[in-house]
Structure 1
Amino acid sequence: MEIKEIKQQLSLLEVVVHYGLYPDAHYRLHCPFHADKTPSLQLYPKTGTYCCFSSNCNAGTGDAIQFIQLMEKCNKHEALIKAQGLLTVAGATLPVKPVTAPVVNAEEEVLEQEALLLKVFNFYKKALPLTKKAVEYLEGRGITYPLHEIGYNSGGLHVESKNHYLVSSMVKYGLLKPRPAGGYNVWAKDCVIFPLRNGDNKIVSFYGRSISNDSDQRHFYLMGRSGLYPGYPQGSATRLILTESMIDAASLLQQPEISMEYSVLALYGTNGLTEEHQQAIMSCSGLVEIILMLDGDAAGQAATVKHAQTLAGLLPHLLISTVALPADEDINSVLQTHDDSRILAALIDQRQPVSFFSSIEEKKLTVVMPTVPVSAPSDNRLNTVNAELLIYDGGLLQLTVLGGIKVTGLDRMRVTLKVAHLQKQLLPLRHNLDLYNHGHTEQLISKIAELFDMSMQVVAGVIGQLTSALEGYRVQRIESLQPRAAVRPELTAAQRQAAINYLRQENLLQQTNADIGKSGIVGEAVNRLIAYLVYSSRKQATPLHVMFLGASASGKTYLQEKVSSLIPAEDKIEITQITENAFYYFKQEELKHKLLLIEDLDGAESSLYPLRELQSKKRISKTVTLKDSKGNLKTVTVTVEGPVSVSGCTTREKLYEDNANRCLLLYVDSSKEQDKAIMDYQTRLSAGVINHSGEHAIKALYRNIQQVLQPVQVVNPYAHYIQLPEQIFKPRRTMTLLLSFIETVTFYHQYQREVKRDGQGQSYIVSTPADITAAFQLLKEVLFSKGDELANATRNFLEQLKVYLQQHGQESFTPQQIRQQFRLHPRSLQRYIRELHQYGYLRQVTGYKHRKGFEYSIADNGEYHQLTSEIDAQLQVILSKITATASTATVVRQ
């Protein structure tokens, strides 16, 4: 019979019982290999191994064969013969004393846990004043430890022989963790320990704070974290201070002027307001105020808002206030950096109530917390310092993963292993395999066990632990490669109020336009304000879109970039080039209410169709065919939600006509005056006389303004008076754009409009004649272009040509003459003349094709002036009707 078959058929329990040894219910027994007063030999029936945890014993760890060797004091060959003999006794069935786990009811188990934790904490508490480094740590943090219940875990409790009887219970409740190679890992070793108590003031758990590690692992909680520090507040407590950590709570409790007037309760960090905390707080019948005193960093400020909202929902009748700590400081750091400990009491006296608002004018603050993926538990026995050389400590075995592991292909785990025995002078084993392949792993386990003369169960356990550790490491690597969502910075109360005050000022649009100019944008007074309002509309249910048009190097991209810098980074997505299907791979709500900035529409030409659908339908969907795990085809529909606001730049208006119809078209200023203004700014920039700090301040203010603007329904009671002039092409879409722009102007003035409610209780604000007037004035040139059948570049050429001929007293011209005067590219000139001739704006006077070229004259010098005058007159009539109606309504109300 082979060794493998013997080990599989002969259990360790059968061998132990054969020698007259009977383990207890926890598979422990007095070790027969040394004078053992307390049970120190632990059996592991699942793996068929044993381990003696006494430092006075040389039995160590082994299997059934090694146990026979030690009992018979023989060699391995003789032990195998003895084992074979045991298998033949009574048909391989030995009388085994039944071993059953004790039946322990829940109440008894709770009492056992409380008794153990109390005993263990008393040991920790006695160890603290005897440990110099722990005392120095607490004194360095300003904590007077004799005033508190604090202990120190040196890791030596279970080593003392008088405490061996506690080992099994310490393992059971997570204070110790057995090592495969023998011994134990100690929970929260080298940590100061704080007891966590339940409602009966019994210790039910611990919190450990490392005194040697301030970066990686410094906070430790026992399994099934429960209990509170310093304990449940008394029901008669009237004012309760919530801190972010146990050390912060201890810092307050040692101040008599604070502990006498306030109760203190520590959270489990910024996200640590648990259900147990909430129940404890609600049980305080006499409570009148909750004071949030969290850290002064961004996380603490966000948690303050979050927890204030939670507590207000639970206890709406209570006053909830907050203590403002210095930036990036916590309670304990303030205590350390001030000689006068009364500084904490002074800060508490300066607390401010947390306000919650319900109207649009002052809407309740919300905090968007980043989604933190749940990481797989890490195994500290896996050394991952070098990603190409992972080393796992398997006790007697050291396993090195050569070349690391791939983060792709989660259905397999191909590795190249180097396995070495730490106590035997044997050459290491090298093996390439897939750890998810059962056949591969069985072959590896067999080879290791045979080469190093080890139990197959022990080797299988090590390989299983290695696989789990590598899985956890791979998950962490994948998570680290995922892009993190941008976190919206929370506004301070002062920043929020400043933004609201700005939006309440008179002549808001004029002031906004002037300040946008101070942010670094030269000229383009109308275009920059329209673009900013369009970008702001992304928050509404029906956002607007804009397209910047102009010749190459005319400043289209620059204008888009500068105006978009006034929008928070987390609200915009900048695109240089995008493929046809890329929009379908965004998360379902990733684009919702975002500003999409396309640097050049030529780079997004293949994706114009889904872009149009996002603009019109506010969502896109695509149905694709996939194979399931069985190879069957099935259809899956991918949906990406809008709405979005789209902004793009191009030189070719006609090429993107379908997209342009959905946008407000803004033609950049290409005049010589604009060229001169830009060059003047460039020279001042080079000379270092530009006030960059002022520009940055304006950008910061406008980003704050974007945060306080809230989506709201807009009602335009004068909409039925608005009619487009007959000269406008494609009036249906143009009317939609005009009405939406009026709503956007009203939306921007929301802090100056009364909030009303309809019959269903939905809030809304109303457009005013001033909003409509402002919208007409800003969009006048846009409407002119919508009523002109010529492209803007062609129109500009024609108007310049009219001025030139009038100034020179000419009635006709030749292309050669104009090209030299206007310094145009021949192909551009040919395109302009061909289009004007086709539309009838130019007449061919004479033709000298082979001498000096064709000669042309302008058909009608006043056609564009007549067109703009008619459109402007109709707009003025509309405004007059609206103003008169509004005045009449005001008189009637009075």
Structure 2
Amino acid sequence: MKISTIKERLPLSEILDHYGLKPKNNMLKCYWHDDKTASLQVNLEKNFYKCHACGKTGDAIQFIEDYEKISKHEAINKAKGFLLNSEAQSQYSVDRGTAKTGQTNPSGEKSVLFLKDNQNNIDVAGGTAKWQAEFLGKMLAYFKNALNSSKPARDYLEKRGLDNAVLEIGYNSGQFHHGERKTEELLKRSLEAGLLLDKGFINNRTKEKAYYVFANKCLIFPLRNKENEIVSIYGRSILDNDKGKHFYLKNRCGIYPNYPNPETKKLILTEAIIDCASLLQIKKIKDNYSLLSCFGANGLNEEILEIIKSLKDLEEIIFCFDQDKAGKEAVEKYSKHLKEHLPSKQISTVELPCKDVNETLQLHNEDIFTELLDNRTFIFSDEVESLDTQLNDKHAVILTKEESLKTNNDQPKTVTDFLSQKDLLKNLNQLIEKAGIIGEENSRLLLFLITISYLNKNPLHGIVQGSSGSGKTHIISRIADMMPQEDVLRFTRITESSLYNWGEFDLFQKIIIIEDLDGLKEDALYALREFISNQVLRSSVTIKDKKGNNKSSHKIVKGQFSSLSATTKGETYEDNMNRSFIVAVNESDEQTEKIISYQNRRNAGEIDRNEQEKAINFIQKIVRNLKHYEVINPYATQIQLPNNVKNKRRLNEMFQAIIKQITIVYQYQREIKNGFLVTEIEDIENAVEILFESIILKIDELDGSLRQFFEKLKKSFKEEQFSRFDAMEVTGFKKTQLQFYLNDLVRLEYLKQIGFANKGFKYKISYNDNIQRVRKDLKEAFTKQLEELKKNKK
């Protein structure tokens, strides 16, 4: 075997796992010098490591050589042994993707319709040695306890919407054969049962036999026989890797969750064990149906078929398979086969709104399954007539799928249906208001679009500007609440060097919320600007080598993130603003009345806080459900920004980015051509409407809050002189903030200062610009271009 082949196929992660090394944030303490803090960085994607202190670097083979202090030749031979054993271990794994193609699985088990040779497995199940059933039962108890001690496993369960308090689930951390539990009997039984596989060599570090662990880092589900004994187990990896996600013991037998009640009348068949577990948690389903899991799309084996045949009172078989091509094809062929064997049984299928049962559970309330089952589709025509008769007897009404998935207030109940609405942005805006942002209709929608861009290759950034106490921090905090919380980082302040000290990928695909941009020093602002412009920070740092000598090193932090920040000062951050969308808080009296009215109704108990939480949770599901696409805008060359806008090049790119973001939100309604979403004219119209105020701010010399302040002065005083106390009365600003604005307007020559300080200055409007005319001209320019686009399309 060539060295290049070993390097290509042997992952560094497996070497680290062999030596019991677990990186935290891709960092380890270096083993080649006295390292008090973790300075050894491992890149598991690119398969190399590097110490930022002593400079030690290399690949998987080099790591073996350095760690065990052996020769290069010995390290290569050892790496070859690791690789061969690793590939032998892959025989444990049965990937559902392979099963759907009808190919032979790595275990040698052929995935065809009703395995005729699988009868041997059933015989094995019936005659499983008593010791093995008892041993697997004890191991399951151990794995269940291990689940309570593992945060990653519990986090994975939470992510998948599974409750181990209700379900029989364990977790294999790969440590059951270590520590105080380790005995010769345990090792012997584990090898016989298949929970361990002898690697065939001695671990140089521990001087003991090395083993591969079956279903390492996997959730564990028991498979049972007719006597309800555990005769095998299934493992589902909690890690995202290409080596396998689904693991079964050799000579798989037994079924999940158990043999159904002999008096079963309605039986639900799921495609996967996790799908079956998802339904087992729902009391209404568990009380009214029996459940069985198949082993993939082509995993309805002979054992399951025999179980179905044995149910004498069975009336109906309900398929709840995945909504992909393989799942639908499997339902079609299995239903025909079952009809031949069981002609008197009704056969139906459930049409899921998402990919599979578990994803549907993650994105919806569990009540949706009751409704989906009530509206299931009967596969054979004579059964449809039978169902009509049953429903008529009960004086029921058959609802269409579209009607059945809507709530009482005529709002779509599923994420997919919501994203398929014609007035999607309008309804999304209303949902954002329910989540707690009152008024600011276009601003809140723009901030939402900016924030959800964090998964794109070129994410967007926004700065909310307003006077002190105007609610700018509230807006960005509420928008952040609507995002998946595992992706949100919130900062009150950022120190000068902190952004340089993150791990290489710690800020990758994240959302950064900066509550007070005014608190950042120039060095921190510079780092933020670099991140926004280049998505990477590169710094030259000084480290000490193992001899204590200073040495220069190169540190990289990648930052593909979207960001929202708040400020009271506009002009101070011009460089940042050139790279970000500017949103001015609406400080009008009308908006103030809206907010006060909402606060009063909330305090009076008229606002349902549960409805607000439901809206936030639903928006989070929407964000998780959106997929990233590259977008083509065929109209990009046919609509132009006005010539008088500042930084037109950068703003044009931002304008096109918002159009693309709107297209992504409409992905369920847009054409996909060669893998690209195609923008419609409607997306450009929406972008113009949402971005209009932000474009005005780019044209206007005054920032948002200063412009609103000046417009109030113009309206109240026109040609009259006024004092700062007069200005305080009509604007409502406090003394310090008001004086700050007056000074700015004098400096920009919009106001003329009259008199002397000892007698109190007077002010007079010296430049009465017509911003309303600018707004009107801009709106007409955009309208004309859009009408031309529609005309040409026809």
- TM-score range (shorter-chain normalised) is 0.5 to 0.7
**What is the alpha-carbon distance in structure 2 between the residues aligned to residue 693 and residue 178 of structure 1?**
48
Aligned match of 2:688? 776
Q: Write the deviation string for residues 861-887 of structure 1: whole angstroms up to 9, x where unpaired.
A: x52222222222222232223222222
Are positions 1:535 and 2:451 aligned together? yes
Aligned residues: 508
Query: Which residue among 554, 557, 560 is the counterpart of 1:643?
Result: 560
CA distance in structure 2 between the aligned counterparts of 1:636 and 1:821, rounded to whole angstroms: 59
1:490 deviates by 7.5
Structure 1 segment 597-616 matched on structure 2, within 5 A: 597-605=513-521, 606-616=523-533
Q: 2:596 and 2:485 mapped to 1: Cα distance?
A: 29
- Corresponding residue for residue 513 of structure 1: 429
Q: Does 1:352 align with 2:320?
A: yes
1:534 is paired with a residue whose SS is: helix
Distance in 2, matches of 1:499 and 1:344, equals: 40
CA separation in 1, counterparts of 2:429 and 2:245? 48
Deviation at 1:713, TM superposition (A): 0.6
Q: Describe the shift of the 1:281–1:290 C-alpha distance in structure 2 as closer, same or farther (beyond 3 A).
A: farther
> Paired residue for 1:748, among 665, 668, 672?
665
- Which runs of structure 2 are paired with 1:447-596 in the superposition (5 Å)? 498-596=414-512
* 1:876 correspondence with 2:792: no
What code does the residue aligned with 1:769 have? I
Query: Which residue does the alignment assign to 1:319?
Result: 298
Judge conservation of contact 1:245–1:268 (CA < 8 Å) in 2.
yes
Alpha-carbon deviation of 1:683? 2.3
1:633-689 alpha-carbon deviations (Å, 9 max, x no partner): 544322222321011111112222211221111111222222222222222222222
CA distance in 2 between partners of 1:773 and 1:829 (Å): 37
Counterparts of 1:689 and 1:513, CA distance in 2: 21
Report the 3-state secondary structure (helix = DSSP H, G, I; strand = E; otherwise coil) of the residue aligned with 1:625: strand
Shift of 1:351: 4.5
The answer to whether the aligner puts 1:204 opposite 2:192 as a matched pair is: yes
1:373-452 equivalence runs, <5 A: none
Tell me how far apart the structure 2 counterparts of residues 865 and 514 of structure 1 sit (CA, whole Å). 28
Report what 2:236 is aligned to: 270
Q: Partners of 1:755 and 1:676 in 2: how far apart?
A: 45
Q: 1: CA distance between counterparts of 2:686 and 2:724?
A: 42
Q: 1:823 to 1:703 in 2, by over 3 A?
A: closer
Contact 1:243 1:265 in 2 (8 A): no
Deviation at 1:559, TM superposition (A): 1.0
Q: After superposition, what is the alpha-carbon deviation per residue over 1:815-837, rounded to whole angstroms, capped at 9, x for unaligned?
A: 44334444544444444344333
Tell me how far apart the structure 1 counterparts of residues 615 and 464 of structure 2 sit (CA, whole Å): 23
Query: Is 1:801 aligned to residue 713 of structure 2?
Result: yes
The whole-number CA distance in structure 1 between the counterparts of 2:179 and 2:434 is 68
Corresponding residue to 1:659 among 561, 576, 597: 576
Following superposition, the deviation at residue 343 of structure 1 comes to 9.6
**What do the CA deviations read for 1:404-452 (whole angstroms, capped 9, x no partner)?**
xxxxxxxxxxxxxxxxxxxxxxxxxxxxxxxxxxxxxxxxxxxxxxxxx
* Displacement after TM superposition at 1:252 (Å): 6.8
Task: String of CA shifts for 1:495-538, please: whole Å, max 9, x gaps.
Answer: 99921111110111111111111112222212111111111111
1:682 to 1:153, Cα distance in 2 relative to 1, 3 A = closer
Gaps of 5+ in 2: 1-124, 136-175, 197-208, 239-243, 254-268, 282-293, 302-309, 327-351, 370-404, 406-412
The one-letter amino acid of 2:298's match is L
Distance in 1 (CA, whole Å) between partners of 2:672 and 2:644 is 37
Pair member with larger Rg? 1
Match of 1:626 in 2: 543
Distance 1:701 1:506 in 2: 18
- Equivalence for 1:704: 621
Displacement of 1:291: 5.3
Corresponding letter in the other structure for 1:526: N
Counterpart amino acid of 2:452? S
TM-score (norm 1): 0.50
Aligned residue identity for 1:741: I
Contact 1:176 1:187 (8 Å CA) reproduced: no
The structure showing larger relative contact order (alpha-carbon pairs under 8 Å, at least 6 residues apart) is 2
| Preserved CA contact (<8 Å) 2:320 2:357 | no
Structure 2 CA distance, aligned partners of 1:366 and 1:637?
47
Q: Identify the match of residue 835 of structure 1 among 739, 744, 757.
A: 744
Give 3-state SS (helix, strand or coil) of 1:685's partner. helix
Cα distance in structure 1, aligned partners of 2:706 and 2:177: 83
Q: What residue number does 1:167 align with?
A: none
Cα distance in 2 between the residues matched to 1:245 and 1:644: 38
Q: Confirm or deny: 8 A CA contact 1:357 1:363 kept in the other structure.
A: no
Give the drift of 1:841: 2.7
* Residue identity in the other structure for 1:765: L
State the distance in 1 between where 2:245 and 2:760 align: 89
Inter-partner Cα distance in structure 2 for 1:610 and 1:832? 29
Distance 1:500 1:153 in 2: 44
Structure-2 residue corresponding to 1:865: 772
Classify 1:226/1:276 alpha carbon distance in 2 versus 1 (closer, same or farther; 3 Å).
Answer: farther
Distance 1:269 1:718 in 2: 50
Aligned positions of 1:232-381 closer than 5 A: 244-246=220-222, 248-250=223-225, 266-271=232-237, 277=248, 292-294=272-274, 319-320=298-299, 349-356=317-324
Question: How many Å separate the matches in 2 of 1:582 and 1:299?
Answer: 46
| Contact 1:813–1:856, Cα closer than 8 Å, also in 2 | yes
1:546 touches 1:664 (CA, 8 Å); kept in 2? yes
Q: Counterpart amino acid of 1:528?
A: R
For the 8 Å contact 2:536–2:556, the answer to whether it is kept is yes
2 CA distance for matches of 1:633 and 1:206?
52
Indicate if the aligned counterparts of 1:813 and 1:857 stay in contact, CA closer than 8 A.
Answer: no
User: What is the RMSD of the two structures over their aligned residues, measured on CA atoms?
Assistant: 4.8
Supply the distance in 1 between the matched residues of 2:133 and 2:712 (Cα, whole angstroms): 87
Structure 1 residue 683 corresponds to structure 2 residue 600: yes
C-alpha distance 778-291 of structure 1, shift in aligned 2 (>3 A): closer
Q: 1:730-761 CA deviation, whole Å, 9 max, x = no partner?
A: 2122112111111111111111101111xxxx
Q: After superposition, what is the alpha-carbon deviation per residue over 1:334-365, rounded to whole angstroms, capped at 9, x for unaligned?
A: xxxxxxxx99997995452234479xx99978
Residue-by-residue CA offset, 1:235-293 (whole Å, 9 max, x unaligned): xxxxxxx99545x3235777xxxxxxxxx9733543497998488679xxxxxx99533
Q: Give the drift of 1:154.
A: 12
Which SS does the other structure have where 1:770 is aligned? helix
Give the Å deviation of 1:800: 0.8
Question: Structure 1 residues 689, 883: CA separation in 2 closer, same or farther (over 3 Å shift)?
Answer: same
Distance 1:270 1:348 in 2: 30
- In structure 1, what residue type is equivalent to 2:717? L
For residues 366 and 638 of structure 1, the distance between their equivalents in structure 2, rounded to whole angstroms, comes to 44
1:151 pairs with 121, 131, 137, which one?
131
SS of corresponding position for 1:270: strand
